[in-house]
A = this chain, B = another copy of it.
Amino acid sequence: MSTDTDAWERFSARMRELRHLESIGGLMGWDEQTFMPPKAAPGRAAATGTLASIEHERLISPEYGNLIDELSERDLDADRRAMVDLARRSRDRAVKLPPELVREMAELASRSQAAWVRARASDDFKIFEPLLQRMLELKAQQAEHLGYEEEPYDAHLDLFERGATAARLQPMFDAVTAGITPTLEAVLARDDGSRRFPPGPYDTDAVLDYCADLLSRMGYDMEAGRLDVSAHPFTSGVGPSDARVTTRVDPDDPKEAILASLHEMGHGLYHLGQREDWVETTIGTSVSLGVDESQSRLWENHVGRSLAFWEGEFANAAKALEPLAKASPEEIYRAVNRVQRSLIRVKADEVTYPLHIAVRFQIERAISNGELQAADLPAAWNELYGRHLGIRPPSDADGVLQDVHWSIGYLGYFPTYLIGSVYAAALFESFTAGAGGPDAVAGLLREGDFAPLLEWLRRNVHRVGSSKLPAEIIADATGRPVDAGIDTAPFVSYIEDKYRDLYGL
């Protein structure tokens, strides 16, 4: 009897089961935000809690722990070593959390998200406040159980971006803010409000059909995914060949619908691009939120907000969306890149976007340090938006209630958006260098030939899965040293070059 093989097989069965539970959770989350009947919310919350408990129970089971210990001592190849190491990391983290806390957080997330939807729809923060307050309390408990280097926020950050700490991220925020501010100020002085999509109304079904068609042509497999509408665009990796994306459609302006579709498609492509032989293991999955976001940003910004893309795509868009016929590729290019002081993160342009994240980073850090309670958030939010964006939300719906994240316990998630922007710029710069330079890449985008880019991303990012650390993956893909920290230069110079040109500076 080969005990070696047995242990590996038992370990594989465990990994497989955990991936299945994750996939079931993905379906439940997708359903909640798309088609679930509203009155189902409390029952769903309870079932979600049960699923989370079962997942947690299996993760912390002594048998799984023993298998991990036993296999750690073996002479494993690099892939298997990575599988075992990641399993240990997840298990160690789970072991630290009391089962009751895990269940309560999962149940609360589901109820609290439903309350957030109602609060946002009726612009009434009070509906959401008690659930958010409880969530913040649970998150504080979670941080204490997990432990952290310097401050509680580090425990939250590490859940989404392995190894990230507030102290390590602060320089990234500082460098980006300092780097883009001169461009931003110059650009804002030139904005005259004329850079827009032609006035609608646009047929919402036509917009949605156009987005689905666009995604198909760009390499997103509609037989392994879907595009639906939800209150907040998101991607749900439901299974190995099942990554569903959503968008939302404003009949007066299709800009967000198109850009959000491209954004979510980037996440979906990453999910669907995992190695087939790894999808039922710990390493056949997105390595971190920052890297995941680098994929969505890259397709949304470096492709979807480029002139070459719209030169190629305009004819298709104008055919599908009647009001566009009056415009030109250049006008659309200017419209998707209009820079302005704005309230809503997901509608923000690339230049102000980092400031939206900086506000959230500051608030989350204060929450984690116990300096802000749920009740304080609307005022704190409005104050910081006034200071950093130069604009104050007229309502909480357009302010503190705009994002789903905190309602589902995603505290520490927002910084990964800026990490994503910064990584995306580095990856695109590297792809461009290898593909013959900016003109060659513009040629590809103009011809609608997205395959070389997708192939490059699959090889350098998607198929690497979680077999390496996030920073290693970016370093390998961009040919920079791993230990040099997050390099903000490609992002800052991308913003400078593009927007100075766009605004004739």
Interface residues of chain A, those whose CB is within 8 Å of chain B, are: 16-17, 20-21, 23-24, 27-28, 31, 35-40, 42-44, 46-47, 50-51, 54, 221-226, 238-242, 244, 279-280
Contact = CB atoms under 8 A, between A and B. Distances in A.
Nearest to A25: B24
A239 B51 contact: no
A37 B225 contact: yes
Q: Which of A16, A46, A223 has the most CB of B within 10 A?
A: A46
A44 B20 CA distance: 9
A238 to B, nearest CB: 7
A50 B17 contact: yes
A226 B37 contact: yes
27 contacts: A16-B50, A17-B50, A20-B46, A20-B47, A20-B50, A20-B51, A21-B50, A23-B43, A23-B47, A24-B28, A24-B50, A27-B27, A27-B28, A31-B31, A35-B35, A37-B223, A37-B224, A37-B226, A37-B244, A39-B221, A40-B224, A42-B240, A42-B241, A43-B241, A44-B242, A46-B280, A54-B54
A429 to B, nearest CB: 33
A238 B40 contact: yes
Nearest to A240: B43
B39 A224 contact: yes
A225 B224 CA distance: 26
Contacts of A36: 242
Nearest to A238: B40
A241 B39 contact: yes
Contact of A239 (B40, B221, B242): B40
Contacts of A39: 221, 223-224, 241-242
Contacts of A47: 20, 23-24, 239
Nearest to A23: B47
Contacts of A280: 46
Contacts of A238: 40
A239 B43 CA distance: 6
Contacts of A37: 222-226, 241-242, 244
Contacts of A42: 240-241
A170 to B, nearest CB: 41
A287 B130 CA distance: 40
B24 A51 contact: yes
Contacts of A279: 43
Given A24-B28, A37-B225, 6 more contacts: A17-B50, A21-B50, A27-B31, A37-B222, A40-B241, A43-B239
A242 B43 contact: yes
A239 B35 CA distance: 14
Q: Which of A47, A225, A279 has the most CB of B within 10 A?
A: A47
A104 to B, nearest CB: 14
A169 to B, nearest CB: 35
A230 to B, nearest CB: 13
Contacts of A46: 16, 20, 280
A42 B20 CA distance: 12
Given A43-B239, A44-B242, A38 B226 contact: no
Contacts of A240: 40, 42-43
A244 to B, nearest CB: 7
A483 B180 CA distance: 84
